[in-house]
Structure formats: C-alpha cells, structure tokens
A and B are shown apart, each in its own frame.
Chain A
C-alpha cells in the first residue's frame, strides 16, 4: 500500500520517494493496473492533440502568453483586482496559507456559516484548508466525485485531475457501502456514481456557501473561470448565496481572448476531451449573493525571482506530465508526498522545502516525455536535472548517492584507474555469488540484472576494428 497520510491531510514531512514507491509496487497486480489506467489517458491525450492541426502553434502561444503574464504579473493582478471589485466582487489578498485559511474562515464566521461545499481546488489542498475549517466547526464537503471518495477515506488526492485513480471500483464500492449505504458488493461505476449524485445533491441543497478553485482569472474583465465535467462547481456556486473562489496569483491571463488558447489545450491534455463539459465565467456576484475572490501568494512571488524555476509557474494543472511519466505510473501519486505529484510536483515540492522533498527530482528517468506533452512547454526534465545539481550544491544528497558519485568521479578522472576498474570487474563480477553481487549496497541491482560482462574492452574492440579497416 502507499504511505497513508494522516487524518488531517498532512503528509509525511520528509518523503523518501523510493521507499514509498517500493510499498506501492509491492502489490504487483495493482501497480500494473495503475500503469495501464494512466497510459490509457495518455493515449487519449495523444489522439486529441493529433486531431488539432495548430497544436504546436497553440503550445507556443500558451508558453508565450504565460511568460508575458509572469513578466508583468504585478500589473495584471492589480488590473484584475480593480476590475473584479468594479463588478461587485470582494477581492482578498493572502500572503501565505495561514492568511488564506483565516480569510476563508472569517467570511464564514461573520455570516454564521457552518456548512461549506467545495469543488476541486489544489490550492486549498496546498493550504490544508479542510482540517483548518473542520477544527473550527465547519462541515466541509468535497464535491468532485474523485475528491469526495478520497475525502471519505481521509486521504488527499493522489492525482491532480484524477484524484481517485489509485483505487479499484471494488474498494470504492466497499467505501460507499459503509459510508453511503449502497448495497454490499455493488461496484458498478454507474450505480456508485448515482449514489454519490443523490448524496451530494443533499449537501448542495443544505450548504450555505460554496468554495471553488479558479482555472483562469482575466485581468481585462475582472472575471474568473472554472472548468469541470461534473458541474459540481456550478451547483456549489448557484445554490448557496455565498461563493468563495480561491486562486494562486499565477492563474492570471491578460485578456478574455487568451482563454481560447488555454481552453483548447487544457482538457485535451488532461483527459483527451475537446473541452470540459462546463466552462463557467464569473463576473461579479449573482443579484442576491456575494462573490469573494481570495488571491494567494504562498511563495509564488519568491519563485518568480528564480530564472530557472519560474517557468513552472506557467503550469495549468492538466496532469499530462503525470500520465506520461514512467515513474509516476509505476509508483503512484502518494509516493511523492507532495500535494502536486509527478514531474511538476517534483519541481514545486523542493522549491517549497528542498530538504523535505530532496528525493523527488530523482523520481524521474529524465526521458523527457513530460516536456513533450506539456501544453505550456515547461522544460520539465531540464528543471528536474537542474534541481539535482542544486541539491548537490546544497549538500542535500543522501550519503549513499554522494559516496557513489564521488567514487565514479574519481574513477572517471584517471584513465588508468578506469582501465583497472574495468579489468577487475570483468574478472570479478562473473565469479561473485549472487548474494554478494546483489547485496544491500547495490541499490541499482534491486530492480535490474547486471549485463553480462564483455570479454573484450571497448578499447580492444575499437582497435581491432580500426586495424581491419
């Protein structure tokens, strides 16, 4: 099983990706199933992107728009806030997670609200809003089906677009039998979805406030845009009187027309659909209601100052890099121990806390597949590599890796030593008993077989070829 996060939603602080992944792959059949499930989504993404003739031009435009926006983020945020306020929204500013949580709680408390429905927002996960509110007497219901499932299991999402992708329908059937009273043994996705629909409708009807994330915020018009397939954000923003929308500062786009670029990329990259079912544009509150927009920094402006890692602020959270990553598919979202897992999470996690997330940049084969699918052209595998160098510089590498690197460095520096090592290895390794050759010290050999030792060295081979020609 994957590492179980504690009931408060807080994950282990220091993550050992390899150890957590080893727990995930211990269930071999399930690990293969997880791999296949995500690969299927990746193939749908491929088909959807191939059907769009200007796909590469769209990616260029998206990357260019993001770079431009980041270079003037302060101005665009200012413009956005003023326009949103002119339309009657309340705009709140939060420097960090604690301020964000206090603002949301303050809005609820002032109005005596104790029942909140939420639609998916990775930002509130980042801020650990649910446990904060629950400790203060607010009942929080996550309403995206996948999120509701993991909430009932007291787990955080294991994937940013597919929060319950790590679970089999039988496990969800058991959970719903226990929590929602579905028939024992019922595991048909249709039956389970219907049960969730009825259960969630009740929550929507009882709620006094709805909280949603934000996919895009438009500086030009002061509007925010939310994309869902289920319509849960629409239920949550139209039934209760109070709507709270929480966003990181990086969600800004300059103009309304820019949405065309991002919306054409987002759903296709995420699930292979041409667009999400609902793409709702909010400009101001409804006539009898309130709209609060909470804008959060929480380290983003610091990340903006870094010439290498600022590009990861362009991420539109489509999840494509996860679905394609051979390491993610085989190790599961929880092995990353960060709110955003996979390649992009392995860049964002260490940016927040380098020591705690130092194993994450190594949870990659650097194959470059993530960079190939990224709709906003983030050079993910380069950034992962840059993080590895950075961790070495800061002395944060585990001692085993450090020792191995030192040794390799020395051997490669002296030609005679390299030759000698080769000579010894060719003779020694075939003679070693398995137990010795694959002992605890050989981390590399845990999942792999050593290649057969060649009889000739490369130098000998090269010489004999040159002499023949």
Chain B
C-alpha cells in the first residue's frame, strides 16, 4: 500500500462515530456603521483609512501621500488612481523587484471587525509586489465593506478559489520583548482608500 492509502485507511479505521457539522448561520456581528468600524479597526492594527467620494479624489489623495511623494519606484494596478512608473511586463524574475517603494492594488472586500482587506492576487503578474514593496496602498469600493469574516467568505463563495489574501495593516512583529515594531519584513505602511 502507498503511504497515501495507508494513511487514509488508518484515519478511517480509527475515526470516532460521526458527529454532525455544526450550524454556523447564527454567528457574526453587526455594526451600526461598518465603514466607520473598518476605519477604526484598521487604525488599531497600524494602518490608515481614507474615505473618498470617487476615483478622481482617490487619485489626488494618493498623490498627496508622503510615501508617494518620496517613492521612486511605483507599481500600480489601479491606473485610474495612480499611473505608477514601473512596467511589470519588463520584470522577469520577482527578485528584480527589490527596491520597490510603493505598490497600489485593488482590494475587493473590507472587513469591519478586523480591518482586513481581501486582495485577489491570482492574476498578479508578480505575486511578490504586495509584500516586497516598502509601502502599500489598497483601493476598495465602499460597497465592498462587510461586517465580519462570515460575510466576507459568503461573498467569496460565489467565485472560484484563487490565490488571495486578507491584509490587515502593515507588516509587524513583537518578537523582541513584546515591543510592537511596524515594518518587520513586508510593507512598512498600509493605506486603504475607501471609495464612495
């Protein structure tokens, strides 16, 4: 027998009597103003939320960001908001991305209870761009704000499972005497523009 068959057989043989799957329908939280709660949660994990009425204002808001003004290499996948200046098609290996100052990406869902933004990264030309960049800007439609993770996964359920992630604020660590340090390995800042 292969290891696969042996392991499956052992698990089936040793399993206890079947217990039913619990009902998850009643779980969850509701907030009076989910967008405001999202901004508060994001701030709590070290990020910044900016509310803007439309993409034009979003563009101006990004241009004014100190991290944008100091940035030399910028990758943007939201050209309506930020043109960017690095052509990803010209990048062959992801390690050439070292030195990237800013990445601007579209996020699809913003979760009020924890300040996380869902980024579908399946089609990113180089998946490293969200983590290798020194700073990160995420652009999310206000209609994409949900109360909690149950709602977030319910929305994702309609789509094929892809490579994607929840990002909640900048990279951080508290491994040295529990002192919180922002900018451990990934982005040193995370700004979310909530549009609409």
Contacts and interface: CB of A to CB of B under 8 A. Distances in A.
B149 A260 contact: yes
Closest 5 CB pairs of A and B: A231-B186, A64-B22, A274-B114, A146-B175, A305-B14
Size category of the binding interface on chain A:
35 or more
B10 interface: yes
Contacts of A75: 12
A337 to B, nearest CB: 23
Interface string B94-128: 11001000000000000101111000001000111
A295 to B, nearest CB: 7
Contacts of A163: 175
A41 B178 contact: yes
A68 B16 CA distance: 9
Contacts of B176: 145, 149, 164, 169, 172, 189, 192-193
A197 B185 contact: yes
Contacts, number: 252
Chain B interface mostly helix, strand, loop or mixed? loop
A310 B152 CA distance: 32
Contacts of B168: 274-279
Given A52-B29, A193-B183, A275-B115, 18 more contacts: A41-B178, A81-B4, A164-B176, A192-B176, A230-B173, A231-B131, A235-B132, A239-B128, A260-B148, A260-B150, A260-B152, A261-B27, A264-B149, A274-B45, A280-B163, A281-B165, A301-B14, A305-B14
Contacts of B56: none
B44 to A, nearest CB: 7
B90 interface: no
A70 B9 contact: no
27 contacts: A41-B178, A54-B29, A60-B22, A68-B22, A71-B19, A72-B15, A93-B7, A95-B7, A149-B176, A168-B177, A197-B185, A205-B95, A229-B172, A229-B174, A231-B185, A231-B187, A235-B186, A260-B152, A261-B27, A263-B149, A264-B148, A274-B44, A275-B114, A277-B169, A278-B131, A305-B13, A307-B16
Contacts of A274: 41, 44-45, 113-115, 168
A73 interface: yes
Contacts of B22: 60-61, 64-65, 68
Given A193-B184, A205-B95, A283-B161, A164 B175 contact: yes
Identify which of A73, A75, A81 gathers the most chain B CB atoms within 10 Å of its CB.
A73
Nearest to A275: B114
A169 B90 CA distance: 43
Residue among B26, B116, B169, B181 with max Cβ neighbours from chain A (10 Å): B181
A95 B6 contact: yes
Nearest to A83: B161
B16 A143 contact: no
A230 B2 contact: no
B161 A256 contact: yes
Contact of A295 (B7, B130, B149, B164): B7
A58 B128 contact: no
A317 B57 CA distance: 44
Contacts of A68: 18-22
B95 to A, nearest CB: 5
B53 interface: no
Interface string B7-44: 11111111111111110101111000000000001001
B89 interface: no
A193 B173 contact: yes
Interface residues of B, number: 76
A94 B187 CA distance: 36
Contacts of B183: 193-194, 197
Nearest to B126: A238
Contact of B7 (A192, A301, A310): A301
A5 B131 CA distance: 34
A326 interface: no
